[in-house]
Amino acid sequence: MKYKAISFLLLSLFVLNCSTKKTTHSFSNYEIKLDTLTMFDKNRNRKIPVAFYHPEKGIKNQQVVIFSHGYGANKGGDYFVYSYLTEKLAYSGYFVVSIQHELPTDELIPTDGKPQIVRMPFWERGAGNILFVLNELKKSKPELDYQHITLIGHSNGGDMTALFASKHPDLVYKIITMDNRRMYLPRTSIPQIYTLRSNDYPADEGVLPTKEEQVKYHITVQPTNINHGKMDNKGSDEDKQTLSDLILKYLNEN
């Protein structure tokens, strides 16, 4: 595999590398590329590593998916550990942006106290990362479809995703959370809301909508037989197939 430098002609972007992958998967005819770079938010003095998974050839009105990983205790590299999903979405024609939310210099997430209070600054930072990356992407890739943006996040990344949808509902078309457990899901029909639940960890009280709210706002709450910690690349082939198939189904719904 060969790596070469790329440039997005933005002062805030520092390019790391890019690569091209070919696929023979039956669900798509697209060859995909993986581009990695580090953005820099001057206002927050923060680096934001990003991975772009996308078809090698441009697609007209290509939809964007922004993915946020689960908590990795600041070890780094977590934006790559859902490649079973990010690659499959790219194979299927989506422009996928996977954000590394944690840096080695960040404080660890608190384990004591009410999560909705002590973890809110971390979710706010994640929502800020998503907003910054989205705005930079609009500058460098204006040809993409920004009317149908989907946010996907696992666990702590799902909490960030839920918060972003609450703060910026006008920017998001759909959100899909993978077992977020702490941040309350918005009770709204716009954006469309889907959540995949694990079989081993319950959500905090009030995080999930009631049956009545699910009907009222057309929110999908989907139980699975998958462990919370197996929703990334550690999951079995069956787990990965189940999650990616459900997510593609949600993306294709009107």
Mean pLDDT across 215-244: 98
128-183 pLDDT, tens digit per residue, is 999 999 999 999 999 999 999 999 999 999 999 999 999 999 999 999 999 999 99
Q: What is the mean pLDDT of the chain?
A: 90
Reading the block at residue 208, the tokens are 């999930």
Confidence band for 50, pLDDT divided at 50, 70 and 90? very high
Residue 50: count of CB within 10 angstroms of its CB: 22
pLDDT of residue 7: 37
Handedness of CA 120, 125, 130, 135 (dihedral sign): positive
**Percent composition of the chain: helix, strand, coil (DSSP 3-state, to 5):** 30, 25, 45
Give the residue-averaged pLDDT of 36-57. Answer: 96
Structure tokens at 73: 């205790």
Look at residue 181 in the predicted model and tell me its pLDDT: 98
* Domains parsed from the chain with CATH numbers: 13-252 (3.40.50.1820)
- pLDDT tens, position by position, 98-133: 999 999 999 999 999 999 999 999 999 999 999 999
- Binning pLDDT at 50, 70 and 90, where does residue 14 land? very low
Please state, in angstroms and rounded to a whole number, the distance separating the CA atoms of residues 62 and 140: 14
Bridge partners for 185 per DSSP: none
